[in-house]
Amino acid sequence: MDPVPTIDVSALAIPGRDIDAVATELDAACRGPGVFTIVGHGVDRSLIARLERVAHEFFALDDGEKSEIAMARGGRAWRGWFPLGGELTSGVADRKEGVYFGAELATDDPRVVAGRPMHGPNLFPSRPAAMRATVLAYLDALTALGHRVVLGIARGLGLDADWFRRELTADPVVLFRIFRYPPTAGDAPGWGVAEHTDYGLLTLLHQDGRGLEVRVDDRWVEVEPVDGGIVCNLGDMLELMTGGTYRSTPHRVRNRSGRDRLSFPFFFDPSWDARMRPVPGMTPVPEEPARWDGRSVFDVTGTYGEYLTAKVAKVFPALRDEALDGG
């Protein structure tokens, strides 16, 4: 198998279409490398081009202007901009800056009124003015795509096509990031983001260039950008639910391109109150391989929201103290 296969998922968007062939390809990729590139995904290329344009325009602003939407202003919603070095992986500062977004919720939404972390209105800058409409359109498009991809994964697992939506993702937690990785000299120490896995079900990533590496069969492989393709990698919860038959994908980033690299990860995750449950019929793999963090995904208890809050709090410890502990 290609270390990072490319899969045409266009059949998933057509009602009544036989999706068995696509489901078989998805299942093979999930049992193998745990990462693949999808084409035929239906996301408008012009929308992706607009997204890249507004990202470049925003990151070109000075830090003072960008700080008008700093994450500290987002409170418990964990939305907004952080500067270069402002996010941690395993306690080490990443070499990237970025903006956090999520599902757009009004301040009178019951989930926001209740103080649920990572829920609320997004913070949008005054410049570029097009960022709000562009990001919200992309959130809608990628949420629909996430539902389609897990539909195909369900069929690959021998489940009803609507199993994930019925049991786990009726109201998915959707989080979206826009990252800028400045170029790194080939011999310079440090990573844009060091080795890690993602927390939830599925990550859908558009990248505007090279720099992403994934660990497949104990070797690091660079993910070659595919024209019009979106990279998909599995998260820890899908590994937990399949008893290790599917593995979440360790990955890292180093930008050696000589120019800024933009990355647009979208996280399609279980509903906030969902409790992780095994996929019916899955037999646990006897041994779990050593993980990058020395921990086990099978130790997770409680709801997905509780698990996610604890994970994200480690990424921004100062924001954790202000937004969560401080109320």
Give the Cα-Cα-Cα angle 195, 197, 203 (nearest 5 degrees). 125
CA 125, CA 64: separation in Å to the nearest integer?
12
CA 303, CA 221: separation in Å to the nearest integer?
34
Question: How many domains does one find in the chain?
Answer: 1
Does residue 155 form part of some domain? yes
pLDDT in tens, 94-110: 889 999 999 999 999 99
- Pick the closest to residue 266 from 43, 26, 18, 7 (CA basis): 43
For residue 326, pLDDT beyond 50: no
Structure tokens at 146: 């996430």
CA 250, CA 238: separation in Å to the nearest integer?
14
Does residue 75 form part of some domain? yes
Does residue 35 form part of some domain? yes
The gap between the terminal CA atoms of the chain, to the nearest Å, is 49
Does residue 300 form part of some domain? yes
Phi, psi angles (nearest 5°) of residue 196? -165, 170
Does residue 186 form part of some domain? yes
38 vs 291, higher pLDDT: 38
Tell me the residue type at 218: D
| CATH number, residue 154 | 2.60.120.330
Residue 154 Rama label (left phi>0; alpha psi -120 to 50; beta): alpha
Does residue 1 form part of some domain? no
pLDDT in tens, 113-158: 998 989 999 999 999 999 999 999 999 999 999 999 999 999 999 9
Does residue 121 form part of some domain? yes
pLDDT in tens, 165-216: 999 999 999 999 999 999 887 666 567 888 899 999 999 999 998 889 999 8
Q: Which domain holds residue 77?
A: 6-325
User: Cα torsion for 183, 130, 124, 146, to the nearest 10°?
Assistant: -80
By the 8 A CB rule, do 254 and 211 touch? yes
